[in-house]
């Protein structure tokens, strides 16, 4: 570094002398015709140039060299260092003082510019560092948020696995306890046949519940990974709804189910099994979150030329506007995480997330609004009618 | 006919309540079910159960609020069903007056054992209130008037605070006592954060009353929660 600076200065001195010499030679060509003021101004220009490029010391050398050249070649008597006329003395001294001062000023300006430059660079560096720090901080925040989300998901999954497991464990140990009491002929009340059967039924049903939960998780993982395979085929909405309602019958036996399907609906090219799953899921939710004896209405009609709009409506408590997007999140349960409660069992928080995945895989949309007269919940989803050219296997994101 | 102890089971999970009803009834308990805190309070008022088993996470009114409301009107033993990972809620429930907890998933024997402890404690409490000059718990006997304590008929010397702490333990034998509730009861409300007081005094008490203070049988540590006094020495 230091070496480079020294070399630069030496170069400045050499250039100062050479340029003054060259200028002297050029000005000499004009011989005695040239005005000493012009020469002085030309040399002054060189001094300024050297000052701007190499700083004050080379500029002083340029001023001194220029002064000597001015004296020898352009002030009478020419060819000597001697100055005869007092006004020429004034011209010579004026040139020297002006040259040195201008050189100094110009060099100072250069230094200032350099300082300003380095200050700017420093500011830029600081800004970049700040930006990096901010980026790192926001990354850390994002990581923290995703960690929090993960732990919330884990909590939800743990809860959903443990609840059936608790019933299973309690049933099994009740049966074991009973068996032990019988074998040791203890005087406690034994379970009767109906009670033993009930315990076994609980184990059976809760094992199914665990299995459903695991299947749901797999389905969600497939949707998340964009690997949902749609088997599209032409079919009628009515068939899809009928199939879903038949399956949901055990869940809806305490509700009045009403079906309103527009009479001349065209066939749709969808994955019938998947759409039926959507309807089943929505009806299941409607039954779970609305009181016994109330009405559940399933409707389907055309919405424009290319789209069918379907809805499932219940007469439950409804879902607050602020929760209407969140209920489609994985594992979100309004009964537990929101403020909606019915005093009934809640689902596993996957039904609506899967329904959304299926509807979106069909290029449809799904959303929630209040039911008729502002009461209850209406889930609305759309399905494009589809055509034969549609890609048979659709991938979702 | 002999009075069958009444147990009120509060849980919003119908499958689990089916099992608990059967499991508890087969052991001679009369059982009623409530799906949430509000229903539980209603049943409690009409039916006067001898013990309440409650879940913590429930719609309408959760287990914590139920504990608080029950404690306002009754000293009925409350047994909390909690899941691993609900430690904070569990401690809060104990602070609000719950007596004990069972961690899910649990075997029916464990629940039955806790139920028996709870019912026994309730009986001891009733008995203690009648004769207030002497408190007895297993091999320990404390005379409240002379402030003397004997362990297996051998007298031990306790400082006044040690004596108060031991009496509190003995009066709540079988019950899980949180750090906060012990500090509040023995040192007063300003000291509920001073866990180190409790550690020191429990350590001293153990040296004086336990046969092997390193493996205590009277004052048992409940990790992260507090202590439990066992009258039967383990």
In a shared domain, residues B119 and B47 = yes
Query: What is the per-residue pLDDT for A336?
Result: 53
Q: Is residue B203 less than 8 Å (CB to CB) from chain A? A: no
Flag whether A91 is in a domain.
yes
**pLDDT string in tens for chain A (397-residue length):** 567 778 887 888 888 888 888 888 888 887 667 777 888 888 888 888 888 888 788 888 888 888 888 888 887 777 777 777 787 788 788 888 887 887 788 778 888 888 999 999 999 999 999 888 888 888 888 888 777 777 777 777 777 888 899 999 999 999 999 999 888 877 767 889 999 999 999 999 999 989 988 888 888 888 878 777 788 889 999 999 999 998 888 888 889 999 999 988 999 999 888 899 899 999 988 998 888 899 999 999 999 888 999 999 999 888 888 888 888 887 676 555 543 433 344 566 778 888 998 898 898 999 999 888 888 899 999 999 987 755 444 444 3
Report yes or no: A278 and A240 within 8 Å, Cβ to Cβ: no
Contact B109 A167 (CB under 8 A): no
CA distance B217 to B228: 10
Please give, rounded to a whole number of angstroms, the shortest distance from the CA of B109 to a CA of chain A.
7
Angle between helices B63-73 and B87-95 (to 10 degrees): 10
CB A341 to CB B105 under 8 A?
no
Residue that is last in its domain, among A199, A224, A249: A224
Task: Find the CATH number of the domain harbouring B222.
Answer: 1.10.10.10
Interface membership of B16 toward A (CB under 8 Å): yes
Q: Is residue B144 part of a domain?
A: yes
**In this predicted structure, what is the pLDDT of residue A28?**
81
Residue B81's CATH number: 3.40.50.2300
Co-location of B23 and B117 in the same domain: yes
CA distances from A307 to A265, A281, B173 (A): 10, 21, 70
Residues B10 and B120 in one domain: yes
Q: Report, as an integer, the average pLDDT of B57-70.
A: 87
Minimal-distance CA residue of chain B relative to A337: B59
Q: Are residues A250 and A290 in the same domain?
A: yes
Same domain, A270 and A360: yes
Query: Are residue B67 and residue B156 in the same domain, yes or no?
Result: no
Q: Name the domain boundary from B77, B95, B124.
A: B124
Does residue A239 share a domain with residue A180? no
Helix axes B160-171, B195-209, angle to 10 degrees: 90
Provide the residue range defining the domain that includes A11. Answer: 2-127
Quote the Cα angle for A261-A264-A266, to 5°. Answer: 95
A157, A158, A161, A170: best to mutate for the B interface, most B CBs within 10 A = A170
Q: Are residues B63 and B86 in the same domain?
A: yes
Instruction: Say if residue B12 is in the same domain as residue B119.
Output: yes
The residues facing B229 across adjacent strands are B219
- Cβ–Cβ contact B119 with A under 8 A: no
Let me know the angle formed at the C-alpha of A191 by B83 and B121, rounded to the nearest 5 degrees. Answer: 50
Kind plus residue range of the DSSP H or E element containing A72: none
Distance CA A191, CA A200 (A): 12
Q: How many residues would you count in chain A?
A: 397
**Confidence grade of residue B111 (pLDDT, cut at 50, 70, 90):** very high
Is residue B141 domain-shared with residue B63, that is, in the same domain? Answer: no
> Are residues A306 and A363 both part of a single domain?
yes
- B107: number of Cβ within 10 Å: 17
Give residue A218's pLDDT.
86
Instruction: Tell me the two tokens of residue A266.
Output: 């065209």
Chain A residues near residue B83 by CB distance under 8 angstroms = 158-159, 162
Residues on chain A bordering chain B, Cβ-to-Cβ distance under 8 angstroms: 155, 158-159, 162-171, 173-174, 177-178, 188-191, 195, 198-199, 202, 205-206, 335-336, 341-346
Q: How far is A182 from chain B (nearest CA, A)?
A: 12
Q: Residue A229: left (phi > 0), alpha (psi -120 to 50), or beta?
A: beta
Q: Which of A52, A41, A56, A50 is nearest to A19 (CA)?
A: A50
Taking an 8 Å cut-off on Cβ atoms, the answer to whether A171 and B107 are in contact is no
Specify if B114 maps to a domain: yes
B10 shares its domain with B118: yes
Last residue of a domain, one of A105, A127, A149: A127
For chain A, say whether B28 makes contact (Cβ under 8 Å): yes
What is the predicted pLDDT for the residue at B6? Answer: 94
- State the pLDDT at residue A342: 37
Coil, strand or helix at A98: helix
Residue B62 domain-assigned (yes or no): yes
Residues A374 and A238 placed together within one structural domain of the fold = yes
Same domain membership, residue A294 and residue A252: yes
* Residues B98 and B135 occupy one common structural domain: no
Query: Cα separation of A281 and B11, whole Å?
Result: 25
Asked whether the beta carbons of residue A173 and residue B107 sit closer than 8 angstroms, the reply is yes
Task: Determine the pLDDT at residue A340.
Answer: 40
- Residue B127, chain A, CB below 8 Å: the answer is no
* Minimal-distance CA residue of chain A relative to B13: A345
> What pLDDT, on a 0 to 100 scale, did the predictor assign at position A326?
83
Q: Could you tell me the sign of the dihedral formed by the alpha carbons of B97, B103, B108, B109, in that order?
A: negative
Contact check, Cβ <8 Å, B105/A169: yes
Check whether residue A318 and residue A283 sit in a common domain: yes
Is A391 inside a domain boundary? no
Task: Tell me how many domains chain A contains.
Answer: 3
Helix, strand, or coil (residue A388): coil
Rounded (5°) CA angle A388-A389-A391? 105
CB contact under 8 A, A195 and B22: yes
Whether residues B141 and B114 share a domain: the answer is no
Residue A353 is assigned to a structural domain of this protein: yes
pLDDT score recorded for residue B77: 93
β-bridge mates for residue B10, sequence order: B34, B54
Do residues A245 and A326 share a domain?
Answer: yes
Q: How far is B63 from chain A (nearest CA, A)?
A: 14
pLDDT, residue A1, reads: 53
> Which residues, 6 or more positions from B142, have their beta carbon under 8 angstroms from its beta carbon?
B134, B135, B136, B148, B149, B150, B163, B166, B167, B170
Q: Residue B47 domain-assigned?
A: yes
Q: Do B107 and A188 touch (CB under 8 A)?
A: no
First to last CA, chain B: 34
Contact: A170, B27; criterion CB under 8 Å = no
DSSP A32-60: GGS-HHHHHHHHHHHHHHHHHHH-HHHHH
Interface contact B83-A158, CB threshold 8 A? yes
HSE (side-chain half, CA atoms, 13 Å) at B101: 33
Domain enclosing residue B194, as ranges = 131-229
Say what the pTM is.
0.59
Asked whether residue B120 is assigned to any structural domain, the reply reads: yes
Number of domains in chain B: 2
| Beta-strand pair A377-384/B219-222 | unpaired
Q: Is residue B1 part of a domain?
A: no
Residue A364 and residue A289 in one domain: yes
Lowest mean pLDDT, pick from A381-385, B47-51, B60-64: B60-64
Query: Does residue A251 sit in the same domain as residue A296?
Result: yes
- Given this model, what pLDDT does residue A78 score? 78
Same domain, B12 and B37: yes
User: How many CA within 13 A on the CB side of residue A339?
Assistant: 4
Residues in chain A closer than 8 A to B65 (CB atoms): none
Last residue of a domain, one of B124, B142, B169: B124
Helix spans in B141-217 (H)? 160-171, 179-186, 195-209
Q: Which residue has the higher pLDDT, B207 or A87?
A: B207
User: What is d(CA B115, CA B79) in angstroms, rounded to the nearest whole number?
Assistant: 7
Beta bridge partners of B177: B227
B89 shares its domain with B135: no
A-proximal residues of B, 68-87, CB under 8 Å: 83, 85
Q: Is A312 helix (H, G, I), strand (E, B) or coil?
A: strand
Q: Is B80 part of any domain?
A: yes
Domain presence at residue A139: no
- Run of H or E residues at A292: none
Same domain, yes or no: A288 and A172: no
ipTM associated with this complex: 0.71
The pLDDT-based confidence of B172 (bands split at 50, 70, 90) is confident
Is A73 within 8 Å of A28 (Cβ atoms)? yes
* pLDDT of res. B22: 94
CA distance B13 to A347: 11
- The reply to whether A345 falls in a domain is yes
| Cα atoms in the 13 Å half-sphere on the side-chain side of A66 | 38
Question: Do A358 and A258 sit in the same domain of this protein?
Answer: yes
**Which residue among B124, B141, B174 closes a domain?**
B124
Inter-chain residue contact A171 with B19, CB threshold 8 Å: yes
**Is residue A153 in some structural domain?**
no
- Choose among A167, A199, A335: nearest Cβ to B13: A167
Domain for residue B234, yes or no? Answer: no
Nearest CA-CA distance, residue B222 and chain A, Å: 22
């Amino acid at each position: 570094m230091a070496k480079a600076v020294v070399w630069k200065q030496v170069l400045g001195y050499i250039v100062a002398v050479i340029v003054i010499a060259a200028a002297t030679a050029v000005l000499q060509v004009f011989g005695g015709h040239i005005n000493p003021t012009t020469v002085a101004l030309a040399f002054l220009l060189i001094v300024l140039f050297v000052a701007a490029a190499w700083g004050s010391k080379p500029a002083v050398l340029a001023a001194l060299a220029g002064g000597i050249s001015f004296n020898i070649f352009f002030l009478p008597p020419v060819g000597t260092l001697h100055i005869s006329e007092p006004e020429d003395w004034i011209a010579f001294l004026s040139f020297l003082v002006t040259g040195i001062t201008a050189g100094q000023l110009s060099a100072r300006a250069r230094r200032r510019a350099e300082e300003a430059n380095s200050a700017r660079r420093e500011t830029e560096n600081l800004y970049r560092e700040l930006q990096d720090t901010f980026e790192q901080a926001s990354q850390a925040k994002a990581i923290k948020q995703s960690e929090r989300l993960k732990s919330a998901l884990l909590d939800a999954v743990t809860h959903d696995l443990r609840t059936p497991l608790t019933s299973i464990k309690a049933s099994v140990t009740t049966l074991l306890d009973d068996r032990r009491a019988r074998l040791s002929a203890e005087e406690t009340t034994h379970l009767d046949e109906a009670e033993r059967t009930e315990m076994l039924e609980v184990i059976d049903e809760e094992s199914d519940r665990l299995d459903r939960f695991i299947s749901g998780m797999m389905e969600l993982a497939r949707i998340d990974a964009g690997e949902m395979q749609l088997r599209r085929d032409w079919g009628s909405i009515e068939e899809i709804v009928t199939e879903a309602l038949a399956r949901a019958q055990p869940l809806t036996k305490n509700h009045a189910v009403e079906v309103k399907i527009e009479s001349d609906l065209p066939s749709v090219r969808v994955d019938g099994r998947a759409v039926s799953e959507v309807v089943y899921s929505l009806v299941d939710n409607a039954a779970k979150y609305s009181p016994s004896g109330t009405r559940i209405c399933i409707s389907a009609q055309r919405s424009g030329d290319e789209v069918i709009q379907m809805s499932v409506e219940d007469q439950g408590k409804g879902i607050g506007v602020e929760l209407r997007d969140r209920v489609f999140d994985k594992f979100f349960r309004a009964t537990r995480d929101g403020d909606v409660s019915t005093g009934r069992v809640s689902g596993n928080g996957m039904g609506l997330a899967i329904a959304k995945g299926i509807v979106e895989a069909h290029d449809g949309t799904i959303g929630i609004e209040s039911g008729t007269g502002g009461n209850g919940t209406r889930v609305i989803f759309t399905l494009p009618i589809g055509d034969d050219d549609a890609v048979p296997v659709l991938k979702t994101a | 006919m002999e009075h069958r102890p009444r147990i009120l089971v509060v849980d919003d999970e119908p499958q689990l309540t089916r099992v608990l009803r059967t499991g508890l009834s087969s052991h001679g308990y009369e059982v009623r079910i409530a799906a949430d805190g509000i229903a539980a309070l209603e049943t409690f008022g009409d039916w006067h159960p001898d013990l309440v088993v409650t879940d913590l996470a429930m719609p309408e009114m959760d287990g914590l609020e139920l504990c608080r409301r029950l404690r306002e009107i009754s000293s009925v033993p409350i047994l909390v069903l909690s899941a691993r990972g609900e430690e904070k809620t569990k401690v809060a429930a104990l602070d609000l007056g719950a007596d004990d907890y069972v961690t899910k998933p649990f075997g029916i024997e464990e629940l039955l054992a806790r139920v028996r402890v709870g019912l026994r404690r309730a009986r001891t409490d009733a008995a203690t209130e009648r004769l207030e000059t002497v408190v007895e718990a297993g091999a320990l006997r404390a005379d409240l008037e002379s402030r003397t304590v004997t362990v297996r008929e051998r007298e031990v010397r306790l400082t006044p605070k040690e004596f108060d702490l031991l009496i509190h333990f003995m009066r709540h034998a079988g019950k899980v006592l949180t750090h906060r509730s012990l500090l509040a009861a023995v040192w007063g409300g300003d000291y509920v954060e001073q866990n180190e007081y409790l550690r020191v005094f429990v350590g001293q008490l153990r040296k004086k009353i336990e046969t092997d203070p390193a493996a205590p049988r009277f004052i048992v540590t409940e990790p992260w929660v507090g202590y439990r006094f066992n009258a039967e020495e383990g």
